Amino acid sequence: PPPTKPPKNTRSEALFARAQNAIPGGVNSPVRAFRAVGGTPRFIAAASGAWLTDADGRRYIDYVGSWGPMILGHGHPAVVAAIQAQAQIGVSYGAPTELEVEMAELLCARVPGMEMVRMCNSGTEATMSALRLARGHTGRDGIIKFEGCYHGHGDALLVKAGSGLLTFGVPTSPGVPADMARHTLIAQYNDLDSVQRLFEAHPQGIAAVIVEPVAGNMNCVLPAPGFLEGLRQLCDRYGAVLIFDEVMTGFRVGPRGASGRYGVTPDLTTLGKIIGGGLPVGAFGGRRAIMSQLAPTGPVYQAGTLSGNPLAMAAGLAVLRQLDDEALYARLEQTTAELLAGLRRAAARAGVPLATTQAGSMFGLYFTDGEPPRRFTEVMACDANAFKRFFHAMLERGIYLAPSAYEAGFVSAAHGADEIRRTLEAADAAFAALACA
Protein backbone atom coordinates (compact mmCIF):
# COMPACT_ATOMS: atom_id res chain seq x y z
CA PRO A 1 0.00 0.00 0.00
CA PRO A 2 1.19 3.55 -0.66
CA PRO A 3 2.02 5.59 2.42
CA THR A 4 -1.12 7.33 3.71
CA LYS A 5 0.53 10.70 4.20
CA PRO A 6 3.74 12.16 2.81
CA PRO A 7 6.70 11.48 5.09
CA LYS A 8 7.84 14.33 7.28
CA ASN A 9 11.58 14.83 7.45
CA THR A 10 11.46 18.17 9.20
CA ARG A 11 14.36 17.57 11.57
CA SER A 12 16.53 15.91 8.93
CA GLU A 13 15.87 18.83 6.58
CA ALA A 14 16.76 21.40 9.23
CA LEU A 15 19.90 19.50 10.20
CA PHE A 16 20.92 19.11 6.56
CA ALA A 17 20.55 22.85 6.00
CA ARG A 18 22.71 23.58 9.07
CA ALA A 19 25.21 20.89 8.10
CA GLN A 20 25.72 22.31 4.62
CA ASN A 21 26.84 25.59 6.08
CA ALA A 22 29.52 24.05 8.29
CA ILE A 23 30.52 20.81 6.52
CA PRO A 24 31.27 20.53 2.76
CA GLY A 25 28.08 19.10 1.27
CA GLY A 26 26.75 18.63 4.79
CA VAL A 27 28.44 15.24 5.20
CA ASN A 28 31.73 13.74 6.28
CA SER A 29 31.76 11.17 3.46
CA PRO A 30 30.25 12.05 0.04
CA VAL A 31 27.80 9.20 -0.64
CA ARG A 32 25.89 10.05 2.54
CA ALA A 33 24.62 13.26 0.91
CA PHE A 34 22.06 11.36 -1.28
CA ARG A 35 23.37 13.17 -4.40
CA ALA A 36 22.96 10.05 -6.53
CA VAL A 37 19.34 9.54 -5.56
CA GLY A 38 18.26 13.08 -4.70
CA GLY A 39 16.28 14.15 -1.65
CA THR A 40 17.27 14.78 1.93
CA PRO A 41 19.62 12.39 3.70
CA ARG A 42 18.11 11.00 6.87
CA PHE A 43 20.02 12.16 9.94
CA ILE A 44 20.25 9.16 12.23
CA ALA A 45 19.54 9.57 15.91
CA ALA A 46 19.83 5.98 17.13
CA ALA A 47 20.10 2.37 16.00
CA SER A 48 19.35 -1.00 17.50
CA GLY A 49 19.56 -4.47 15.97
CA ALA A 50 18.49 -4.25 12.32
CA TRP A 51 16.79 -0.89 12.80
CA LEU A 52 17.71 2.79 12.41
CA THR A 53 15.74 5.67 13.90
CA ASP A 54 16.08 9.05 12.23
CA ALA A 55 15.99 12.52 13.77
CA ASP A 56 12.23 12.70 13.04
CA GLY A 57 11.56 9.48 14.90
CA ARG A 58 10.90 7.39 11.77
CA ARG A 59 12.23 3.83 11.80
CA TYR A 60 13.96 1.95 8.99
CA ILE A 61 15.24 -1.58 8.44
CA ASP A 62 18.93 -1.02 7.74
CA TYR A 63 20.67 -2.70 4.77
CA VAL A 64 23.73 -0.44 4.92
CA GLY A 65 25.03 -1.49 8.33
CA SER A 66 27.40 1.48 8.54
CA TRP A 67 28.70 0.35 5.11
CA GLY A 68 29.64 -3.09 6.36
CA PRO A 69 30.87 -3.16 9.96
CA MET A 70 27.57 -3.97 11.69
CA ILE A 71 27.41 -7.68 10.84
CA LEU A 72 25.93 -8.43 14.27
CA GLY A 73 23.43 -5.58 14.01
CA HIS A 74 23.53 -2.35 16.00
CA GLY A 75 24.20 -2.31 19.72
CA HIS A 76 25.05 -5.99 20.17
CA PRO A 77 25.24 -6.42 23.96
CA ALA A 78 28.69 -8.07 23.95
CA VAL A 79 30.12 -5.23 21.85
CA VAL A 80 28.53 -2.49 23.93
CA ALA A 81 29.80 -4.14 27.11
CA ALA A 82 33.34 -4.44 25.72
CA ILE A 83 33.40 -0.75 24.74
CA GLN A 84 32.03 0.37 28.10
CA ALA A 85 34.46 -1.77 30.08
CA GLN A 86 37.45 -0.51 28.09
CA ALA A 87 36.34 3.14 28.29
CA GLN A 88 36.48 2.85 32.09
CA ILE A 89 40.17 1.96 32.04
CA GLY A 90 41.39 4.13 29.18
CA VAL A 91 40.60 4.85 25.55
CA SER A 92 44.16 5.32 24.31
CA TYR A 93 47.62 4.87 25.79
CA GLY A 94 50.00 5.21 22.84
CA ALA A 95 51.86 2.18 24.18
CA PRO A 96 51.43 -1.50 23.35
CA THR A 97 48.60 -3.47 24.96
CA GLU A 98 47.61 -7.11 25.36
CA LEU A 99 44.46 -6.37 23.31
CA GLU A 100 46.61 -5.70 20.24
CA VAL A 101 48.41 -9.01 20.65
CA GLU A 102 45.07 -10.81 20.95
CA MET A 103 43.75 -9.04 17.86
CA ALA A 104 46.86 -9.82 15.81
CA GLU A 105 46.85 -13.49 16.86
CA LEU A 106 43.17 -13.83 16.11
CA LEU A 107 43.52 -12.28 12.65
CA CYS A 108 46.53 -14.47 11.88
CA ALA A 109 44.60 -17.55 12.99
CA ARG A 110 41.56 -16.79 10.81
CA VAL A 111 42.76 -14.96 7.69
CA PRO A 112 44.42 -17.22 5.09
CA GLY A 113 48.09 -16.37 4.51
CA MET A 114 48.23 -13.84 7.37
CA GLU A 115 51.44 -14.47 9.32
CA MET A 116 51.84 -10.95 10.72
CA VAL A 117 49.54 -7.95 10.80
CA ARG A 118 49.74 -4.23 11.57
CA MET A 119 46.71 -2.24 12.77
CA CYS A 120 45.82 1.23 11.49
CA ASN A 121 42.73 3.47 11.59
CA SER A 122 40.85 3.08 8.31
CA GLY A 123 40.61 1.01 5.17
CA THR A 124 42.25 3.85 3.28
CA GLU A 125 45.31 3.71 5.52
CA ALA A 126 45.44 -0.07 5.20
CA THR A 127 45.56 -0.06 1.39
CA MET A 128 47.96 2.92 1.22
CA SER A 129 50.32 1.19 3.61
CA ALA A 130 50.04 -2.19 1.89
CA LEU A 131 50.96 -0.54 -1.40
CA ARG A 132 53.96 1.25 0.06
CA LEU A 133 55.09 -2.03 1.58
CA ALA A 134 54.69 -3.90 -1.71
CA ARG A 135 56.66 -1.18 -3.48
CA GLY A 136 59.37 -1.18 -0.80
CA HIS A 137 59.57 -4.97 -0.88
CA THR A 138 59.82 -5.30 -4.67
CA GLY A 139 61.69 -2.07 -5.43
CA ARG A 140 59.13 -1.38 -8.18
CA ASP A 141 56.67 1.53 -8.57
CA GLY A 142 53.86 0.24 -10.81
CA ILE A 143 50.59 -1.12 -9.49
CA ILE A 144 47.62 -2.69 -11.22
CA LYS A 145 44.10 -1.94 -10.03
CA PHE A 146 40.72 -2.63 -11.59
CA GLU A 147 38.28 -0.14 -12.99
CA GLY A 148 35.35 0.23 -10.58
CA CYS A 149 37.25 -1.16 -7.57
CA TYR A 150 37.57 1.26 -4.65
CA HIS A 151 40.38 1.00 -2.14
CA GLY A 152 39.92 4.20 -0.17
CA HIS A 153 41.05 7.67 -1.13
CA GLY A 154 44.84 7.39 -1.17
CA ASP A 155 46.33 9.20 -4.18
CA ALA A 156 47.63 6.13 -6.01
CA LEU A 157 44.32 4.34 -5.65
CA LEU A 158 41.98 7.16 -6.51
CA VAL A 159 42.30 6.37 -10.19
CA LYS A 160 39.21 4.97 -11.94
CA ALA A 161 37.82 4.01 -8.56
CA GLY A 162 34.24 2.94 -7.92
CA SER A 163 31.69 3.83 -5.29
CA GLY A 164 31.44 7.55 -4.54
CA LEU A 165 33.50 8.43 -7.58
CA LEU A 166 31.14 6.55 -9.88
CA THR A 167 28.23 8.35 -8.30
CA PHE A 168 29.87 11.70 -8.89
CA GLY A 169 31.24 10.87 -12.33
CA VAL A 170 34.84 11.80 -11.56
CA PRO A 171 37.00 8.88 -12.65
CA THR A 172 40.10 10.30 -11.00
CA SER A 173 40.09 13.12 -8.48
CA PRO A 174 41.67 16.50 -9.12
CA GLY A 175 44.55 16.84 -6.66
CA VAL A 176 46.05 13.49 -7.58
CA PRO A 177 49.37 14.41 -9.27
CA ALA A 178 49.67 13.04 -12.80
CA ASP A 179 53.08 11.71 -11.77
CA MET A 180 51.36 9.62 -9.14
CA ALA A 181 48.47 8.39 -11.30
CA ARG A 182 50.99 7.38 -13.98
CA HIS A 183 52.13 4.45 -11.83
CA THR A 184 48.58 3.12 -11.48
CA LEU A 185 47.72 0.84 -14.38
CA ILE A 186 44.08 -0.04 -14.92
CA ALA A 187 42.80 -3.50 -15.81
CA GLN A 188 39.24 -4.81 -16.19
CA TYR A 189 37.65 -6.86 -13.42
CA ASN A 190 37.09 -10.52 -14.40
CA ASP A 191 39.30 -10.06 -17.47
CA LEU A 192 42.65 -11.82 -16.98
CA ASP A 193 43.83 -10.89 -20.47
CA SER A 194 43.72 -7.22 -19.53
CA VAL A 195 46.03 -7.99 -16.58
CA GLN A 196 48.33 -10.19 -18.65
CA ARG A 197 48.75 -7.39 -21.21
CA LEU A 198 49.84 -4.92 -18.51
CA PHE A 199 52.38 -7.39 -17.12
CA GLU A 200 53.73 -8.06 -20.62
CA ALA A 201 54.17 -4.33 -21.19
CA HIS A 202 55.95 -3.87 -17.81
CA PRO A 203 57.48 -7.27 -16.94
CA GLN A 204 59.83 -5.83 -14.30
CA GLY A 205 57.74 -2.82 -13.31
CA ILE A 206 54.72 -4.04 -11.34
CA ALA A 207 55.02 -4.05 -7.55
CA ALA A 208 51.48 -5.21 -6.82
CA VAL A 209 48.06 -6.17 -8.10
CA ILE A 210 45.35 -4.91 -5.74
CA VAL A 211 41.83 -6.25 -6.08
CA GLU A 212 38.54 -6.48 -4.22
CA PRO A 213 38.05 -10.26 -4.37
CA VAL A 214 34.30 -9.57 -4.49
CA ALA A 215 33.88 -6.12 -6.05
CA GLY A 216 31.61 -4.29 -3.61
CA ASN A 217 32.09 -0.75 -4.82
CA MET A 218 30.48 -1.17 -8.23
CA ASN A 219 27.41 -2.78 -6.70
CA CYS A 220 28.36 -6.39 -5.95
CA VAL A 221 30.24 -8.16 -8.72
CA LEU A 222 31.35 -11.73 -8.06
CA PRO A 223 34.71 -13.05 -9.23
CA ALA A 224 34.30 -15.27 -12.31
CA PRO A 225 35.60 -18.82 -11.84
CA GLY A 226 39.38 -18.78 -12.34
CA PHE A 227 39.78 -14.99 -12.08
CA LEU A 228 41.36 -14.86 -8.61
CA GLU A 229 43.42 -18.02 -9.34
CA GLY A 230 44.64 -16.37 -12.55
CA LEU A 231 45.73 -13.24 -10.66
CA ARG A 232 47.66 -15.46 -8.23
CA GLN A 233 49.47 -17.16 -11.13
CA LEU A 234 50.30 -13.90 -12.92
CA CYS A 235 51.69 -12.33 -9.73
CA ASP A 236 53.84 -15.42 -9.11
CA ARG A 237 55.11 -15.43 -12.67
CA TYR A 238 56.07 -11.74 -12.66
CA GLY A 239 57.23 -11.42 -9.05
CA ALA A 240 54.45 -9.02 -8.03
CA VAL A 241 52.68 -8.89 -4.66
CA LEU A 242 49.02 -9.95 -4.77
CA ILE A 243 46.93 -7.78 -2.43
CA PHE A 244 43.36 -8.75 -1.61
CA ASP A 245 41.51 -5.71 -0.33
CA GLU A 246 39.16 -7.41 2.12
CA VAL A 247 38.16 -4.22 3.92
CA MET A 248 34.57 -5.04 2.93
CA THR A 249 34.67 -8.81 2.39
CA GLY A 250 36.81 -9.74 5.41
CA PHE A 251 34.67 -11.70 7.92
CA ARG A 252 31.67 -10.71 5.76
CA VAL A 253 31.51 -13.22 2.91
CA GLY A 254 32.52 -16.02 5.28
CA PRO A 255 34.46 -16.71 8.48
CA ARG A 256 37.75 -16.62 6.53
CA GLY A 257 36.79 -13.82 4.17
CA ALA A 258 36.94 -14.02 0.39
CA SER A 259 40.30 -15.77 0.33
CA GLY A 260 38.78 -18.55 2.44
CA ARG A 261 35.58 -18.61 0.41
CA TYR A 262 37.29 -18.80 -3.00
CA GLY A 263 40.40 -20.73 -1.93
CA VAL A 264 43.01 -18.28 -3.22
CA THR A 265 45.64 -16.92 -0.81
CA PRO A 266 47.11 -13.47 -1.47
CA ASP A 267 50.50 -12.19 -0.27
CA LEU A 268 48.92 -9.30 1.62
CA THR A 269 45.37 -8.71 2.85
CA THR A 270 43.82 -5.41 3.92
CA LEU A 271 41.02 -5.34 6.47
CA GLY A 272 38.75 -2.74 8.11
CA LYS A 273 35.04 -2.32 8.88
CA ILE A 274 33.96 -5.53 10.74
CA ILE A 275 37.24 -5.96 12.66
CA GLY A 276 36.61 -2.64 14.45
CA GLY A 277 33.01 -3.37 15.42
CA GLY A 278 31.96 0.09 14.17
CA LEU A 279 34.91 2.01 15.58
CA PRO A 280 37.55 3.44 13.21
CA VAL A 281 39.95 0.68 12.21
CA GLY A 282 42.09 -0.82 9.47
CA ALA A 283 44.70 -3.55 9.23
CA PHE A 284 47.10 -4.97 6.70
CA GLY A 285 48.99 -8.21 6.97
CA GLY A 286 50.32 -11.25 5.17
CA ARG A 287 53.59 -13.00 4.48
CA ARG A 288 56.17 -12.65 7.24
CA ALA A 289 58.98 -11.91 4.76
CA ILE A 290 57.05 -8.90 3.47
CA MET A 291 55.63 -7.66 6.79
CA SER A 292 59.12 -7.74 8.35
CA GLN A 293 60.12 -4.95 5.97
CA LEU A 294 57.99 -2.54 8.05
CA ALA A 295 59.54 -0.14 10.56
CA PRO A 296 60.89 -0.74 13.15
CA THR A 297 62.24 -4.11 11.91
CA GLY A 298 62.58 -2.93 8.31
CA PRO A 299 63.02 0.25 6.29
CA VAL A 300 59.41 0.84 5.09
CA TYR A 301 57.89 3.51 7.30
CA GLN A 302 54.32 3.40 8.61
CA ALA A 303 52.90 4.63 11.92
CA GLY A 304 49.81 5.95 13.74
CA THR A 305 49.05 7.83 16.98
CA LEU A 306 45.80 5.91 17.53
CA SER A 307 46.73 2.69 15.70
CA GLY A 308 45.61 -0.38 17.62
CA ASN A 309 43.78 1.84 20.10
CA PRO A 310 42.18 -0.17 22.91
CA LEU A 311 38.62 0.96 22.28
CA ALA A 312 38.61 -0.26 18.66
CA MET A 313 40.48 -3.42 19.65
CA ALA A 314 37.97 -4.21 22.41
CA ALA A 315 34.99 -3.65 20.10
CA GLY A 316 36.57 -5.56 17.23
CA LEU A 317 37.56 -8.52 19.40
CA ALA A 318 34.05 -8.70 20.82
CA VAL A 319 32.64 -8.93 17.29
CA LEU A 320 35.24 -11.40 16.06
CA ARG A 321 34.62 -13.72 19.01
CA GLN A 322 30.91 -13.86 18.08
CA LEU A 323 31.89 -14.59 14.48
CA ASP A 324 33.83 -17.75 15.32
CA ASP A 325 30.64 -19.61 14.46
CA GLU A 326 29.96 -21.41 11.18
CA ALA A 327 26.26 -21.68 12.05
CA LEU A 328 25.96 -17.89 12.29
CA TYR A 329 27.43 -17.52 8.79
CA ALA A 330 25.12 -20.21 7.45
CA ARG A 331 22.14 -18.34 8.93
CA LEU A 332 23.30 -15.01 7.50
CA GLU A 333 23.69 -16.58 4.07
CA GLN A 334 20.26 -18.19 4.31
CA THR A 335 18.54 -14.95 5.39
CA THR A 336 20.21 -13.08 2.53
CA ALA A 337 19.18 -15.76 0.01
CA GLU A 338 15.56 -15.53 1.22
CA LEU A 339 15.61 -11.75 0.93
CA LEU A 340 16.96 -11.88 -2.63
CA ALA A 341 14.60 -14.65 -3.76
CA GLY A 342 11.69 -12.61 -2.37
CA LEU A 343 12.87 -9.46 -4.13
CA ARG A 344 13.20 -11.30 -7.46
CA ARG A 345 9.68 -12.73 -7.06
CA ALA A 346 8.26 -9.32 -6.19
CA ALA A 347 9.99 -7.73 -9.18
CA ALA A 348 8.75 -10.47 -11.49
CA ARG A 349 5.15 -10.00 -10.27
CA ALA A 350 5.40 -6.32 -11.17
CA GLY A 351 7.18 -7.01 -14.46
CA VAL A 352 10.32 -5.15 -13.37
CA PRO A 353 13.57 -6.72 -14.63
CA LEU A 354 15.85 -7.45 -11.67
CA ALA A 355 19.01 -9.53 -11.26
CA THR A 356 20.74 -10.17 -7.95
CA THR A 357 24.14 -11.32 -6.71
CA GLN A 358 25.15 -12.67 -3.31
CA ALA A 359 28.36 -13.53 -1.47
CA GLY A 360 27.50 -14.55 2.07
CA SER A 361 25.54 -11.66 3.59
CA MET A 362 26.65 -9.16 0.96
CA PHE A 363 24.36 -8.59 -2.02
CA GLY A 364 23.81 -6.63 -5.23
CA LEU A 365 20.59 -5.53 -6.98
CA TYR A 366 20.65 -4.82 -10.72
CA PHE A 367 17.86 -3.35 -12.76
CA THR A 368 18.61 -5.32 -15.89
CA ASP A 369 17.00 -7.96 -18.12
CA GLY A 370 20.04 -10.15 -18.38
CA GLU A 371 22.46 -12.01 -16.18
CA PRO A 372 24.05 -10.17 -13.24
CA PRO A 373 27.03 -8.12 -14.47
CA ARG A 374 30.55 -9.57 -14.42
CA ARG A 375 32.25 -6.50 -15.90
CA PHE A 376 32.36 -2.82 -15.03
CA THR A 377 30.77 -1.83 -18.37
CA GLU A 378 27.88 -4.21 -17.69
CA VAL A 379 27.31 -2.61 -14.29
CA MET A 380 27.20 0.80 -15.92
CA ALA A 381 24.65 -0.43 -18.47
CA CYS A 382 22.05 -1.18 -15.74
CA ASP A 383 19.15 1.21 -15.17
CA ALA A 384 20.41 3.62 -12.46
CA ASN A 385 17.22 5.65 -12.79
CA ALA A 386 15.04 2.65 -11.90
CA PHE A 387 17.28 2.08 -8.87
CA LYS A 388 16.78 5.68 -7.81
CA ARG A 389 13.00 5.38 -7.92
CA PHE A 390 13.10 2.02 -6.15
CA PHE A 391 15.38 3.48 -3.46
CA HIS A 392 12.90 6.26 -2.63
CA ALA A 393 9.87 3.97 -2.81
CA MET A 394 11.58 1.70 -0.28
CA LEU A 395 12.80 4.53 1.93
CA GLU A 396 9.26 5.92 2.18
CA ARG A 397 8.16 2.49 3.36
CA GLY A 398 10.84 2.23 6.03
CA ILE A 399 13.56 0.30 4.19
CA TYR A 400 17.01 1.90 4.20
CA LEU A 401 19.11 0.83 1.19
CA ALA A 402 22.47 2.35 0.23
CA PRO A 403 21.74 5.66 -1.56
CA SER A 404 23.57 4.69 -4.76
CA ALA A 405 23.24 2.03 -7.45
CA TYR A 406 26.95 1.22 -7.07
CA GLU A 407 27.05 0.05 -3.47
CA ALA A 408 26.68 -3.45 -2.10
CA GLY A 409 23.96 -4.17 0.47
CA PHE A 410 24.50 -5.95 3.78
CA VAL A 411 22.34 -8.20 5.93
CA SER A 412 23.13 -8.55 9.64
CA ALA A 413 22.59 -11.32 12.17
CA ALA A 414 19.86 -9.12 13.67
CA HIS A 415 17.76 -9.35 10.47
CA GLY A 416 15.16 -12.00 11.25
CA ALA A 417 12.05 -13.38 9.57
CA ASP A 418 10.01 -10.34 10.62
CA GLU A 419 12.44 -7.85 9.04
CA ILE A 420 12.59 -9.87 5.81
CA ARG A 421 8.78 -10.11 5.65
CA ARG A 422 8.40 -6.36 6.15
CA THR A 423 11.09 -5.67 3.55
CA LEU A 424 9.36 -7.87 0.98
CA GLU A 425 5.97 -6.25 1.66
CA ALA A 426 7.54 -2.87 1.06
CA ALA A 427 9.23 -4.21 -2.08
CA ASP A 428 5.93 -5.47 -3.48
CA ALA A 429 4.50 -1.96 -3.24
CA ALA A 430 7.74 -0.33 -4.43
CA PHE A 431 8.05 -2.50 -7.56
CA ALA A 432 4.37 -1.95 -8.31
CA ALA A 433 4.89 1.81 -8.04
CA LEU A 434 7.91 1.50 -10.33
CA ALA A 435 5.97 -0.47 -12.91
CA CYS A 436 3.20 2.17 -13.00
CA ALA A 437 5.52 5.16 -13.26
Which residue, 124 or 269, is less far from ligand PMP as judged by CB? Answer: 124
Residue 399, classified by CB atoms within 10 Å of its CB into exposed (0-12), middle (13-18) or buried (19+), is buried
Question: Can you list the alpha helix ranges (DSSP code H) found in 323-409?
Answer: 326-350, 376-380, 384-396
CA distance linking residue 170 with residue 162, whole number of Å = 10
Return the CA Rg of the chain.
21
Q: Name the phi and psi angles at 177, rounded to 5.
A: -60, 140
CA distance linking residue 263 with residue 178, whole number of Å = 37
H or E stretch covering 132:
helix 123-138
Give the residues across from 142 on adjacent strands. 206
Which residue, 122 or 356, is less far from ligand PMP as judged by CB? Answer: 122
CA distance linking residue 135 with residue 210, whole number of Å = 12
Which residue, 53 or 173, is less far from ligand PMP as judged by CB? Answer: 173
Catalytic residue among 54, 62, 145, 150: 150
Please indicate whether residue 273 is annotated as part of the active site: yes
Which residue, 156 or 350, is less far from ligand PMP as judged by CB? Answer: 156
Q: Which of residues 256-275 bind ligand PMP (CB under 6 A)?
A: 272
Please indicate whether residue 150 is annotated as part of the active site: yes
Name the minimum Å distance from CB 111 to ligand PMP: 15
Q: What SS3 state is found at 409?
A: strand
- Residue 248 as a binder of ligand PMP (CB under 6 A): the answer is yes
Which member of 73, 112, 152, 278 binds ligand PMP (CB under 6 A)? 152
Q: Which of residues 112-151 bind ligand PMP (CB under 6 A)?
A: 122-124, 127, 150-151
Which member of 63, 67, 146, 227 binds ligand PMP (CB under 6 A)? 67
Name the minimum Å distance from CB 185 to ligand PMP: 18
Residue 215, classified by CB atoms within 10 Å of its CB into exposed (0-12), middle (13-18) or buried (19+), is buried
Q: Name the phi and psi angles at 211, rounded to 5.
A: -145, 145
Nearest residue to ligand PMP by CB is: 123
Please indicate whether residue 428 is annotated as part of the active site: no
Quick one: which segment of 11-19, 74-82, 171-179, 240-248 binds ligand PMP (CB under 6 A)? 240-248
Q: Which of residues 27-56 bind ligand PMP (CB under 6 A)?
A: none
Q: Is the dihedral of CA 322, 325, 326, 332 positive or negative?
A: negative
DSSP 8: P
Which member of 245, 267, 396, 419 binds ligand PMP (CB under 6 A)? 245
Catalytic residue among 62, 191, 245, 428: 245
Which residue, 150 or 367, is less far from ligand PMP as judged by CB? Answer: 150
Name the minimum Å distance from CB 424 to ligand PMP: 27
Contact 161, 181 (CB under 8 A): no
Name the minimum Å distance from CB 213 to ligand PMP: 9
CA distance linking residue 215 with residue 339, whole number of Å = 20
Q: Which of residues 190-229 bind ligand PMP (CB under 6 A)?
A: 212, 216-217
Catalytic residue among 273, 366, 400, 428: 273
Q: Any residues with CB less than 8 A from the CB of 328 and at least 6 apart, and which? A: 322, 413
Per-residue b or e along 89-116, where b marks 16 or more CB atoms closer than 10 Å to that residue's CB:
eeeeeeeebebbebbbebbbebbbbbeb
Q: Count residues binding ligand PMP (CB under 6 A).
A: 15
- Residue 361 as a binder of ligand PMP (CB under 6 A): the answer is no
Catalytic residues: 150, 245, 273
The binding site for ligand PMP (CB under 6 A) comprises 67, 122-124, 127, 150-152, 212, 216-217, 245, 247-248, 272
